[in-house]
Structure 1
Amino acid sequence: MFIALACFTVGTAKAQTINNSKFGKGLQFVAADSSFSLKFGTRFQMLYQGGRSSSMEQLEDKFLIRRARLKFEGFAYSPKLEYKIELGLSNNDIGNDQPEMFDNASNIILDAVAMWNFAPGWELWVGQTKLPGNRERIISSQKLQFVDRSLLNSRFNIDRDAGLQLHHTHQVGNQAILRESAAVSTGEGRDVAVDNTGGYSYTGKIEFMPLGEFESSGAYVGGDLSREETPKLAIAAAYNFNDNTNRSRGQLGSFLSGERDLQSVFVDAMFKYRGFSSMAEYANRTAPDGPVLSRTEDGKVDEVFLTGNAFNLQAGYLFKSNWEVAGRYTAFNPERVTGTNGQEQYTLGLSKYIVGHSLKVQSDVTLQDQPGKDNFYQFRLQMEVAL
């Protein structure tokens, strides 16, 4: 339906103008009376993934469409009122391969948010979009330095939610940038259509860039594709309190039979200079009343909220040929009472950027070290196409 709408829009271009359309930037339109604009884009990722341990008799592998997205954005009525809609079409996007985790949630809509610039440096966001949490989650899956995000993100990120967000940006001194964000949201994740249970989710974040703004929003782009001419640094901290959530990871995970308060803390930093980039993140999640919701008759954990901490460190260098080599170390340390095993991962990545992050081929090899189990080796190869 949305592709047909885009084609219809092209066919009625007499009432509109087309400007700045090129590969990776989507189709861009502005109404003849400048009352609205629309940028339409699409992207997909083709992934091969294989892995095995020493005790496995054969390779475990698969080929899939990791992500497939439609994106619409622009302004409505005034350039000060912007909007963004993003839809996920692949099974991984909408959760069709894990139905038990998505009760009452279709998960097709990723983003549907209006952003009002009501005063200089101030924006009010209304709708569903990413919460101001850890840096790696806010970075688009199109603009990652590796094939996919780290174990820290998959276990502890606070993802998307529906509600209100307030963002403020201002300059400190001659070049430093300070940003503050706050959000009040449902606390149950995206596309939940039933009445809210428990309480709401409250998020706050502060970010400081002492050396000035990154080129091309590079503080939230993997790798230093802009090849920063001067050193750039971003440091951020975020806190989320999810009041009486009923999902095992707050805004994500299985729907459980009871509720718990969850508190999440994130600290991260990003540095870039002349092709070199590095990022560090720490995440910690706690449940003040304890993560275990219920146990079986023999005392084993039956329902549990995932708590603990994780650390992620990665760095890479982009050569002038647009080949990039990068390394990543991630440590995941769940609370012992959850019955979940900890894990360390060592990843080496190799990427070729053909048209920036819009057309690229990425590969990585990961060693997964999990106590009490054989080491597991994983290889991934992925192509990204974004129009």
Structure 2
Amino acid sequence: MRHTKKLRLTLLLFLLLSFNLHAQDKTGNKFGKGIKIEAQDSSFSMKFSTRFQTLYEGTLNLEDNEWSDKLLVRRARLKFEGYAYSKKLEYKVELGLSNRDIGGEIAQNNNTANIILDAVLKYKFHPNWQLWFGQTKLPGNRERVISSQKLQFVDRSLVNSRFNIDRDLGVQLHHKGKLGNGILKQAIAMSMGEGRNITSNNVGGYSYTARVEYLPFGDFTSKGDYFGSDLKREEKPKLSIGATYNFNDGAGRQGGQLKSFVTDTNGDQIINDLSTIFIDAMFKYQGFSIMSEYANKTASKDVDASNKFNTGTGLVFQAGYLLKSNLEIAGRYTQITPDNTTFSGLKEETEYTLGFSKYFVGHSLKIQTDASFVDILNNDNIFRYRFQVELSF
């Protein structure tokens, strides 16, 4: 009798499972485009997507021939976006799940995990005008605003990691219009100045950002000025030139919105006014692409602290060509020059990178690898090899 009951229960579970499998809904959504839903009364919509990057990185110290390597989930993200109440009111929420996404523990954030990357509302109050409120990327250098999913190399350059102004909490105003035969884009922002979701009181003043872009030949196909590689194989030359200025009044962190909070030898907080200038350009034509950026960050005063502010200049130039097989070869040159080796938190570095990418479904499914030689002044030179797989739907 007991065996008969177990058999009946097993059959029942099997039938329920079979029914659920056959009852699964089929969707018209496509790979790489997320899962989309919309209310019948058009009161809201949501697109859900997720992605992850698995990275292998090996480094050879060229002075002592010591090899070290690691394998990790470089990024893992969940993203929700759409509109709420009205199609004029858009939202975006993005969460970071990997260790590198969450970041290190800091006292100013109660030493808690910081998983919120974006949480922003975008109100289209007039044609070509948007008002943003919340946490998201500032209108900074192009390489930073380009999603980490859509990069031409395994990761961004040293110029970005040393100088970018990243994400912040505040308000932004965006406008897009015509200028002659071209497109003119402008953005201004006022934000807290200390980066994403810091829970302690602001230690200094606010951060002010202004950006302008000009596209003399009109828009890129599918917003191609903000993803790496010429995947759309532009039939006509396309060019975007941009410039950003950021003033962080009373910055408390090494990079303004990023890195460690700066303290003196007694552990007391130090603030400094940081000014950052970015000039960048993107060019694409028939599978050929070029991107270049210049960065300059200065401080109002030199400080003698354990964690110094990251000030100096940076230059990056990269170019690539996409074959008809969707295999791309690309090269990148990067130069970092601190403005003062005594008071700047940066080192003088030069990096040469050669990269290869294979795009199966654009940036949604790809394999990327690159090799770099890094020359660091007064430090051991290194060779670095990276291999990464990106999956996004």
TM-score by length of 1: 0.90
Deviation at 1:51, TM superposition (A): 1.0
2:118 paired with 1:111 = yes
Q: Which residue of 2 aligns with 1:255?
A: 261
Q: Is the alpha carbon distance of 1:233 and 1:19 closer, same or farther for their aligned partners in structure 2, counting shifts above 3 Å?
A: farther
2:301 paired with 1:289 = yes
Q: Which residue of 2 aligns with 1:224?
A: 230
Q: Is the alpha carbon distance of 1:50 and 1:232 closer, same or farther for their aligned partners in structure 2, counting shifts above 3 Å?
A: same
Query: Aligned partner of 1:80: which letter?
Result: K
Q: C-alpha distance in 1, partners of 2:109/2:288?
A: 43
2:40 paired with 1:22 = no
Q: Which residue of 1 aligns with 2:333?
A: 329
Q: Which residue of 2 aligns with 1:314?
A: 318
The 5 A counterparts of 1:112-151 are 112-151=119-158
2:203 paired with 1:193 = no
Deviation at 1:78, TM superposition (A): 1.1
Contact 2:371–2:383 (CA under 8 A) maintained in structure 1: yes
Identify which of 257, 262, 265 aligns with 2:277. Answer: 265
Q: Is the alpha carbon distance of 1:380 and 1:255 closer, same or farther for their aligned partners in structure 2, counting shifts above 3 Å?
A: same
Deviation at 1:351, TM superposition (A): 0.2
Q: C-alpha distance in 1, partners of 2:107/2:360?
A: 37
Query: Aligned partner of 1:48: which letter?
Result: Y
TM-score by length of 2: 0.89
The 5 A counterparts of 1:33-182 are 33-95=41-103, 98-100=104-106, 103-104=109-110, 106-173=113-180, 175-182=181-188
Secondary structure of 2:379's aligned partner:
coil
Q: Is the alpha carbon distance of 1:35 and 1:120 closer, same or farther for their aligned partners in structure 2, counting shifts above 3 Å?
A: same
Secondary structure of 1:59's aligned partner:
strand
Query: Aligned partner of 2:225: which letter?
Result: A
Query: Aligned partner of 1:84: which letter?
Result: K
Q: C-alpha distance in 2, partners of 1:281/1:317?
A: 19
Secondary structure of 1:67's aligned partner:
strand
Secondary structure of 2:307's aligned partner:
strand
Q: Which residue of 2 aligns with 1:343?
A: 349
Contact 1:359–1:384 (CA under 8 A) maintained in structure 2: yes
2:219 paired with 1:213 = yes
Q: Which residue of 2 aligns with 1:381?
A: 387
Q: Which moved more, 1:315-324 or 1:302-311?
A: 302-311
Aligned residues: 361
Contact 1:133–1:266 (CA under 8 A) maintained in structure 2: yes
Q: C-alpha distance in 1, partners of 2:107/2:69?
A: 23
Secondary structure of 2:270's aligned partner:
strand
Contact 2:260–2:307 (CA under 8 A) maintained in structure 1: no
Structure 2 alignment gaps of length 5 or more:
1-19, 263-268
Secondary structure of 1:254's aligned partner:
coil
Contact 1:260–1:289 (CA under 8 A) maintained in structure 2: yes
Q: Which residue of 2 aligns with 1:4?
A: none
Q: C-alpha distance in 2, partners of 1:53/1:177?
A: 47
Q: C-alpha distance in 1, partners of 2:28/2:88?
A: 20
Secondary structure of 1:278's aligned partner:
strand
Deviation at 1:53, TM superposition (A): 2.0
Query: Aligned partner of 1:303: which letter?
Result: N
Deviations 1:194-225 (A, max 9, x none): 12221000000000000000001100100100
Deviation at 1:103, TM superposition (A): 4.4
Deviation at 1:370, TM superposition (A): 1.2
Deviation at 1:100, TM superposition (A): 5.0
Q: Is the alpha carbon distance of 1:217 and 1:303 closer, same or farther for their aligned partners in structure 2, counting shifts above 3 Å?
A: same
Query: Aligned partner of 1:266: which letter?
Result: F
Deviation at 1:375, TM superposition (A): 2.2
Secondary structure of 1:69's aligned partner:
strand
Query: Aligned partner of 2:309: which letter?
Result: F
> Which is greater in Rg?
2
Contact 1:18–1:28 (CA under 8 A) maintained in structure 2: no
Contact 1:18–1:30 (CA under 8 A) maintained in structure 2: no
Contact 1:359–1:386 (CA under 8 A) maintained in structure 2: yes
Deviation at 1:18, TM superposition (A): 8.9
Q: Which residue of 2 aligns with 1:298?
A: none
Query: Aligned partner of 1:34: which letter?
Result: S
Contact 1:223–1:275 (CA under 8 A) maintained in structure 2: yes
% of aligned pairs identical?
57
Deviation at 1:57, TM superposition (A): 4.5
Secondary structure of 2:296's aligned partner:
strand
Contact 1:85–1:112 (CA under 8 A) maintained in structure 2: yes
Q: C-alpha distance in 2, partners of 1:287/1:55?
A: 34
Deviation at 1:99, TM superposition (A): 2.9
Cα RMSD for the two superposed structures: 1.6
Contact 1:19–1:28 (CA under 8 A) maintained in structure 2: no
Deviation at 1:20, TM superposition (A): 5.0
Secondary structure of 1:34's aligned partner:
coil
Structure 1 alignment gaps of length 5 or more:
1-10, 12-16, 295-301
